[in-house]
Amino acid sequence: MTRSDTAPPVPARSDVRVAHADLAACTARILAARGLAPDRADAAAAALCHGDLTGVRSHGLANLARIYLPALHSGRIDPAAEPRVLSDLGACLLVDARRALGLWQAGAAVDLAVERARHHGAGLVWVRGATHFGCAGHHAARAAEHGMVGIVAANCGRQRIAPPPGGRRPLLGTNPLAVAAPALPGRPFVLDMSTTAVPTGRVREAARAGRAIPEGWLADDLGRPVTDPAAFDRGEAHLRWLGQGEGAYKGFGLGLAVEVLAALVPGAGLGPWPDPGAGGAAPADDDIGFLAAAFAPAALRAGFADDARTLFAEVLACPPTDPASPVRYPGWPEAERAAEHRRTGVPLAEAVYRELAAAAAAAGTAAPALIGGV
């Protein structure tokens, strides 16, 4: 079983490999050169490299030059921002991230939720004014390391990517949802999903590769299927929701539920409002809202960790339809790939490595050494 949002982890011929520690250290130096404090740069680099480490390339180093460096340059992300607590009720907090780098700040919000959950059973940190944070599952999994259940749900700020079923105009983003929990040792349960059929990265990946896409991913203004992935960035097609046929109302409903929980509750930017109008500029993912929650079963009852191991061991023990493909749970394949890449090096597309090397040079630091081609 693979994470539904990820590309198949098949390294391309043009991939290069670098040691994970070198990659993370170089990324941290690049971010520090942009004004991040060292501990924040380290945490952000770990979050960004997590994408490539686990095979989720759409949320990895490819976004350094595409999203994070331009946003740090333009001021949409403030490297020195000090998030401010606006309300503190003990178990619940409202935080203004003040455009802090989400790659670091989302993890800090989960850590705060974990701390509160120790005393209250649950910690819920609602954040507004946030920025792009990479893999939601990476942050949610911090709670699982403490024996807790973690949830990270985010909207995409004012960005509009997918229309409601039966609607002509995009209203919401891909609104990711991650749930993590302790499972087998070293193999936590980590569900990390967009509420759309796929995230935008999958569509752009197919466009770059010149591959047609399946019918369920994109639709035009009238709801008709589109299989040319390049139509998405031409504005001729929109993402569809998770769920086939009438089931798309569940995907849309989940996307709306994330919009409510992650953005409406803390008062962050919303996809549907204000409407930029027909001639207006496409709104960006500014003023993102997210919820970082941790639940501490050990505060409520004994035996949770043992029960979690039993539950997930039974999932793994389910007889497979194909004996060559054992049953897995979300998080397992990513942990397997991470372990392999820690041993053998992290594969990167050559173009991404070149972008990283250029960013390193601009920061006056060395690029990670190549281990070799694949």
Site residues (CB under 8 A) for a second copy, limited to 169-208: 169, 171, 179, 181, 189, 191, 193, 197-198
Of 135, 134, 142, 94, nearest to 291 by C-alpha is 94
Q: With binding defined as CB under 8 A, does residue 244 bind a second copy? A: yes
**Gap between the Cα atoms of 236 and 226, Å rounded:** 9
Q: Smaller CB distance to a second copy: residue 67 or 190? A: 190
Non-local CB neighbours of 88 within 8 Å, separated by 6+ positions: none
C-beta separation of 356 from 367 below 8 A: yes
Q: Give the phi and the psi of residue 88 in degrees, each rounded to 5.
A: -140, 110
Q: With binding defined as CB under 8 A, does residue 231 bind a second copy? A: no
- Among the listed residues 70, 235, 303, 373, the single contact to a second copy using CB under 8 A: 303
Q: Provide the minimum distance between the beta carbon of 217 and a second copy in the complex, in angstroms, as a whole number.
A: 10
Q: Which parts of 247-266 interact with a second copy (CB under 8 A)? A: 247-254, 256-257, 259-261, 264-266
* DSSP assignment string, 53-64: HHT-GGGSTHHI
Q: Provide the minimum distance between the beta carbon of 37 and a second copy in the complex, in angstroms, as a whole number.
A: 28
- Among the listed residues 322, 343, 364, 372, the single contact to a second copy using CB under 8 A: 322
- Among the listed residues 310, 344, 351, 373, the single contact to a second copy using CB under 8 A: 310
Q: With binding defined as CB under 8 A, does residue 19 bind a second copy? A: no
Total residue count of the chain as it appears in this document = 374
CA distances from 100 to 44, 191, 263 (A): 11, 25, 17
Q: Which parts of 89-118 interact with a second copy (CB under 8 A)? A: 89-92, 94
- Among the listed residues 79, 134, 163, 201, the single contact to a second copy using CB under 8 A: 163
**Gap between the Cα atoms of 93 and 244, Å rounded:** 37
* DSSP assignment string, 221-251: TTS-EE--THHHHTTS-EEPBSSSGGGHHHH
Q: With binding defined as CB under 8 A, does residue 287 bind a second copy? A: no
Q: With binding defined as CB under 8 A, does residue 245 bind a second copy? A: yes
Q: Smaller CB distance to a second copy: residue 4 or 227? A: 4
Q: Smaller CB distance to a second copy: residue 180 or 360? A: 180
What single DSSP character describes residue 297?
G
Q: With binding defined as CB under 8 A, does residue 222 bind a second copy? A: yes
The footprint of a second copy on this chain (CB under 8 A) covers a number of residues equal to 87
Q: Smaller CB distance to a second copy: residue 70 or 276? A: 276
Q: Smaller CB distance to a second copy: residue 68 or 290? A: 290
Q: Smaller CB distance to a second copy: residue 49 or 193? A: 193
Pairing of strands 122-130, 92-96: parallel
**Gap between the Cα atoms of 6 and 342, Å rounded:** 19
Q: Provide the minimum distance between the beta carbon of 362 and a second copy in the complex, in angstroms, as a whole number.
A: 38
**Gap between the Cα atoms of 248 and 254, Å rounded:** 10
